[in-house]
Amino acid sequence: MEKKNIDWGSLGFDYMQTDKRYVSNYKNGAWDAGCLTSDANVVITECAGVLQYSQSCFEGLKAYTTEDGRIVTFRPDLNAERMEDSARRLEMPVFPKERFLEAVDQVVSANAAYVPPYGSGATLYLRPYMFGSDAVIGVKPSHEYQFRLFATPVGPYFKGGAKPITIRVCDYDRAAPHGTGHIKAGLNYAMSLYAIMEAHREGYDENMYLDAATRTKVEETGGANFIFVTRDQKVVTPKSNSILPSITRRSLMDVARNYLGLEAEEREVYFDEVKDFAECGLCGTAAVISPVGKIVDHGKEICFPSGMEKMGPVTQKLYDTLTGIQMGRIKAPEGWIREIK
Ligand SMILES: *Cc1c(COP(=O)(O)O)cnc(C)c1O
């Protein structure tokens, strides 16, 4: 198969329209058969539930070319399951896991010419999403929904390697204790835009959100979970019902235990103890891990011993191992890699 004429090395994290996307509609209590389409536009009523009351959820995953030239996705079953959870919490019909996986396979296969070559640092980003598509003016769930999945090639999240970033402790809250922080809903992002732009205006790369109830415990950033490394090389990640369960983070905890022989624990992390950690990173599909060099809490700085030049040593090992598994250089645990035929 001939690849598109794209300068893979200069791709950013931006949308580029590709040839095919998957669409399925839910009507009269059932999903239709679904199909691939060349039409990149969505046409819906002005009164659609998604436009009025933000009834929508989404997922994000990637397809890669492995070292031996296969095209694979990484743990798409977990994206499918998470989207089922998101749908239930938003009173949306579940798009079945098997169909989700089928849609991923079809879209990647139909856009194989856009899957960046091994070694380019670029990947094919996949965006499944679902929204209420029929008219609702009284506040209630939609009756009709659309599931879509498109693909867009994206560059390496960090050009020229991952430099540690500086984040601030944020005065706004991301998620309420019994709210929607644990699902991947667009509404969680809409309300984070003000906080992230304010952080950027003040010279920070990201926000660290604390728990809304007590503001003493670490939650996550707007779109990535935290991992910390203790001075005696234990990997720690915050536990909370209002954190989005990152697939990257769950995978890194497994990698720490089963590949690196490290202790790894998910527990409540008080902000007061953050100064005692040796390393800090943010994890998500887009960048895998972004190292954090400095956290600023209203003028008070926490500088990690790993510094501002490179990732800490344990973070680097976690990164190298997980990306090695994804790119087929390291043997993956059973079921982590789904090959696209
Ligand atoms: C998507 C997302 C993450 C990262 O999850 P991955 O499955 O690792 O991509 C973390 N936090 C939030 C709020 C997210 O929406």
Q: Do 264 and 257 form a contact (C-beta atoms < 8 A)?
A: yes
> Which among 59, 183, 225 is the best mutation to test ligand 1's pocket, defined by most ligand atoms within 8 Å of the CB?
225
User: Percentage of the chain with pLDDT > 70?
Assistant: 99
Residues 292-327 have pLDDT tens digits of: 999 999 999 999 999 999 999 999 999 999 999 999
- Is any atom of ligand 1 closer than 6 Å to the C-beta of 18? no
Mean of pLDDT values over 48-56? 98
Helix 76-89 / helix 97-110 crossing angle, nearest 10 deg: 130
Cα–Cα distance, 289 to 260 (Å, whole number)? 16
Q: Which atom of ligand 1 is nearest to the CA of 82?
A: 7
Task: Say how far apart CA 19 and CA 106 lie, in whole Å.
Answer: 12
Q: Which of 244, 318, 319, 323 to mutate to test the pocket of ligand 1 (most atoms within 8 A of CB)?
A: 244
Residues 6 or more apart from 309 whose CB is under 8 A from it? 163, 164
pLDDT exceeds 80 at position 169: yes
Half-sphere exposure of 83 (CA within 13 A, CB side): 28
Q: 18 pLDDT band (50/70/90 cuts)?
A: very high
CA of 127 to the centre of ligand 1 (A): 13
Which numbered atom of ligand 1 lies nearest the CA of 251?
Answer: 8
Q: What is the arithmetic mean of pLDDT over 8-26?
A: 96
Tens-place pLDDT, residues 206-234: 999 999 999 999 999 999 999 999 999 99
Give buried/exposed letters for 267-291 (b at 16+ CB in 10 A, else e): eebebeebeebbbbbbbbbbbbbbb
Residue 129 neighbours by CB distance under 10 Å? 19
What does pTM read for this prediction? 0.97
Tell me the catalytic residues. Answer: 184
In this structure, the residue with its CA closest to atom 5 of ligand 1 is 246
Q: Kindly state the average pLDDT of the residues 61-87.
A: 97
- Does 128 contact ligand 1 (Cβ within 6 A)? no
pLDDT at 158: 72
In this predicted structure, the answer to whether residue 160 has a pLDDT above a threshold of 70 is: no
State if residue 285 touches ligand 1 by the CB under 6 angstroms criterion: yes
Model confidence at 161: pLDDT above 80: no
Site to probe by mutation for ligand 1, drawn from 188, 206, 285 as the one with most ligand atoms within 8 Å of Cβ, is 285
> How far is 221 from 228, CA to CA, in rounded Å?
14
What proportion of the chain, given as a percentage, has pLDDT over 90? 96
Q: How far is CA 93 from CA 23, 81, 102, 151, 188, in A?
A: 15, 13, 18, 23, 20
CA of 225 to the centre of ligand 1 (A): 7
Select from 47, 15, 56 the least CA-distant residue to 148: 56
pLDDT of residue 70: 97
Question: Measuring CA to CA, which residue among 129, 153, 127 is closest to residue 8?
Answer: 153
What pLDDT does 137 receive? 96
Among 128, 108, 156, 149, CA closest to 58: 128
Mean pLDDT of the chain: 96
Higher pLDDT, 159 or 148: 148
**In angstroms, rounded to a whole number, what is the distance separating the alpha carbons of residues 218 and 239?**
9
